[in-house]
Amino acid sequence: MSRMEDPTRSALLSPRRSRPPMGGRAALTTLYCYAVLTLVAGLLPPLVEGALRLPEARTPVWITSSVASGGLALLLTHRRRPSGRPSRRLVLSLGWLLVVLATVQAFVVGDLPALAGLYAVVPVLASLAGRLTGRPRKALVVAHIVASACWTGVALMMSAVGVFALTSDDVEHVAGAYAIMETFDVGLLAYLNFAATMSGLGAAITSQWGVIRYRWVAAKFVLSVLILLLAFGWLHDTLETAAQQAERLAESGGPAEQLGTTPALVAAGFGFAFLQLLLATLLALYKPGGRTRRGRRLLAAQRGTRSRETPVTVADVREVAHDVRALTLRPVEGERLPRWEPGAHIDVVLPSGRVRQYSLYGDPGAGGDTGDPDDAGAYRIAVLREEDGRGGSAEVHGLAAGARLAIRGPRNHFPLVDAPAHLFVAGGIGIVPFLPMLHRLDAAGADWRLVYRGRSLDRMAFTDALARQYGGRVTLLPSDTHARPDLPALLRDTPVGVAVYCCGPERLVEAVAEAMSVAGPHGTLRIERFAAVERPDGTADRPFEAELARSGRVVRVPAGRSLLSAIQDVDPTVDRSCEDGICGSCATRVLDGVPDHRDDILQADERERADVIYPCVSRSSSDRIVLDA
């Protein structure tokens, strides 16, 4: 059977059980519990009836919340079955609906238990959204910063007014001060508290920080909860009492001294809250304390997954294009392959000892029990034979079914991000990381398009399956029969917020990057290269010191020597693979200092990151850099 007629390739590109990992068991359990609790809340009388502003809306909002939560839980449960493919947009819309309903119930209707509900539905929505990058991530962080700054500013103002009321002898001035404080307390402070706390929760859950992985993040969350308990449990009532007493004294002409210790309690309460907010700001700025015990366990598990070599067997080899072979790798008996996400790659340790990185395609759930006999427990890679390469691809092409290899990973530095639309530009074998991305987006009903360039049609892998499955969304442009694509025109035709992905030869990557700067400033570009870009020879490097926080050792990194090699003098177990800044195996957390990023892993919008470094090629812009190593 010729390559053009092979019906198995469509199955390879369309794993029957590959679905977005929206939420997990914890989110699903929370949704079912929330559905029950909101139904009970709607049927029972209110706990704090005096706080209700719209009592007639209370029951309908609770019942609607119960229906929405239960419906979303059932939708996610159905998704776990082979036929379940709910739209990501629908899932996230239901998640947002739950947040809006809880907010309306708490702040419009005035049913206070809904405040606790926000602590349930916001984390659920964040877990459904998954890891955010680019503009959505920036928008969420900016929202958190603005809300936190406003909250801190209002708390400072309340503290200052409280001190004024404490020190003033004029009871009318005291009464006026407390009236102002009550207005801000009831009309603004509670909203800012929840806006800052909820946006902070969302920002933490949708990033690498998490809520309880790092001590400074956990401490910030604890501080926000303590302020909330302080406000609702004591400070609000104390302020209300002080305002009422001051108003009565102002009407009767009594002295301010009759207020007793109440003004001191109000001033101390708001002053304490402001100091807590100031501490939270310092925590966010300096990020002290490192990882929590849970964070260290997660890191150890991640590093174990990355660095541990898993023995595998080549289960199948097939030709998918001229000079392109696809390999199916299965673990040996007793081993299990981890799940992976679209864009991930693995290190393949060949019989010769060479280590090469290859993108995964097929079913991201292969590490689990998928139920598909052709896909379960397997990884798939496709390798182009490079005549002028270093020998790795030629060795792969010489492998036959039954050969024994080892793999490391998977790792993912090229993830699929949320965006209103996606444009993929692939060159040659660069199509491979896009295959699971296209399937995921298509299953979710997303807006996407693929432009696939290659030397000739017979050298372009998976063309038949792509054209058959996706039709007009795929544009095939073999260079022997088609002119180069008009990249500026292609980019101008994309909507605002588009995520542009490019993987292929350096000339194609550079062309897309240049076109983006001219015709695509309304979108974001994410690239993955076949090889590292040419870097300076190191003669202009400046020496610096690297402090390894775990051991307390300090190593000097002279010009011309890599940071990774200096670290390995102290810790030879540090992960490494390509040592060229493209695989990401040596990723190390930065605790202090300014990295000089020279890798080809971080995207354009990530080049200012100061929390991670790839020491095989990157250096330090500061005289000393402190590493979590």
Same domain, 566 and 513: no
HEC letters along 278-291: HHHHHHHHHCCCCE
- Which residue reads 């194609």 in tokens? 508
Same domain, 501 and 551: no
Residue 161's pLDDT is what? 95
Residue 210, in any domain of the structure:
no
Same domain, 405 and 427: no
β-strands 345-349, 404-411 pairing = antiparallel
SS3 462: coil
Residue 33, in any domain of the structure:
yes
Residue 199, in any domain of the structure:
no
DSSP H helical segments within 44-133, as ranges? 55-79, 88-104, 113-129
Cis peptide before 288 (omega within 30 of 0): no
Specify burial of residue 588 (Cβ count, 10 A radius: 0-12, 13-18, 19+).
buried
pLDDT band for position 254 (50/70/90)?
confident
Q: Looking at the predicted structure, is the pLDDT value of residue 444 above 70?
A: yes
Question: Chain centroid to CA 503: how far?
Answer: 21
Residue 40's pLDDT is what? 95
Please name the residues in contact with 455: beta carbons below 8 A apart, sequence gap of 6 or more: 428, 478, 479, 480
Residue 586, in any domain of the structure:
yes
- Tell me the pLDDT tens digit for each residue of 49-95: 888 899 999 999 999 999 999 999 998 887 544 444 556 788 889 99
DSSP H helical segments within 327-391, as ranges? none
Query: Among the three residues 529, 562, 581, which one is the final residue of a domain in this structure?
Result: 529
Residue 219, in any domain of the structure:
no
Same domain, 444 and 503: yes
Same domain, 31 and 124: yes
- Tell me the pLDDT tens digit for each residue of 382-398: 999 988 777 889 999 99
Q: Which DSSP letter does residue 81 get?
A: S
What is the DSSP annotation of 215-228?
A: HHHHHHHHHHHHHH
Residue 368's pLDDT is what? 38
Same domain, 77 and 114: yes
What is the phi/psi pair of residue 56, to 5°? -70, -20
In the chain, the number of structural domains is 4
Same domain, 512 and 475: yes
Residue 14's pLDDT is what? 42
**Distance, CA of 584 to CA of 51 (rounded, Å):** 54
Among 96-105, 331-340, 405-414, which is the least confidently predicted range? 331-340
Q: Which token pair is 186? A: 């009831």
pLDDT band for position 10 (50/70/90)?
very low
First to last CA, the chain: 53
Average pLDDT, the chain: 85
In whole angstroms, how far apart are CA 213 and each of 123, 208, 276, 410? 15, 9, 21, 21
Residue 433's pLDDT is what? 96
Q: Are 84 and 19 in contact (CB under 8 A)?
A: yes
Residue 24's pLDDT is what? 67
Its pTM surpasses 0.75: no
Same domain, 346 and 407: yes
Specify burial of residue 408 (Cβ count, 10 A radius: 0-12, 13-18, 19+).
buried
SS3 213: coil
Residue 166, in any domain of the structure:
no
DSSP H helical segments within 520-575, as ranges? 563-570
CATH number at 390 reads: 2.40.30.10
β-strands 624-627, 544-548 pairing = parallel
Question: Chain centroid to CA 375: how far?
Answer: 27
Residue 18's pLDDT is what? 35
- Tell me the pLDDT tens digit for each residue of 537-594: 555 688 999 988 877 788 999 988 889 888 887 776 666 666 777 777 788 888 889 9
Helix axes 134-167, 262-286, angle to 10 degrees: 150
Among 98-112, 185-199, 290-304, which is the least confidently predicted range? 290-304
Q: Kindly tell me the sign of the dihedral angle through the C-alpha atoms of 572, 574, 577, 580.
A: negative
Helix axes 88-104, 55-79, angle to 10 degrees: 160
Same domain, 99 and 64: yes
Same domain, 344 and 400: yes
Q: Are 590 and 602 in contact (CB under 8 A)?
A: no
β-strands 404-411, 310-321 pairing = antiparallel
502-518 mean pLDDT: 93
Q: Looking at the predicted structure, is the pLDDT value of residue 149 above 90?
A: yes
Q: Looking at the predicted structure, is the pLDDT value of residue 479 above 90?
A: yes
**Distance, CA of 459 to CA of 55 (rounded, Å):** 69
CATH number at 581 reads: 3.10.20.30
Determine which helix (DSSP H) or strand (DSSP E) holds 149, and give its type and residue range: helix 134-167
Nearest to 377 by CA among 357, 394, 363: 363
Q: Looking at the predicted structure, is the pLDDT value of residue 467 above 80?
A: yes
Q: Are 361 and 436 in contact (CB under 8 A)?
A: yes
Residue 266, in any domain of the structure:
no
Q: Are 206 and 140 in contact (CB under 8 A)?
A: yes
In this structure, the number of other CB atoms found within 10 A of the CB of residue 472 comes to 7
Q: Looking at the predicted structure, is the pLDDT value of residue 364 above 60?
A: yes
Residue 5's pLDDT is what? 34
**Distance, CA of 42 to CA of 295 (rounded, Å):** 38
Residue 454, in any domain of the structure:
yes
Same domain, 401 and 432: no
Domain that holds residue 110: 22-129
Question: Chain centroid to CA 207: how far?
Answer: 4
Q: Looking at the predicted structure, is the pLDDT value of residue 367 above 70?
A: no
In whole angstroms, how far apart are CA 40 and each of 114, 243, 392, 431? 13, 37, 63, 52
Same domain, 440 and 487: yes
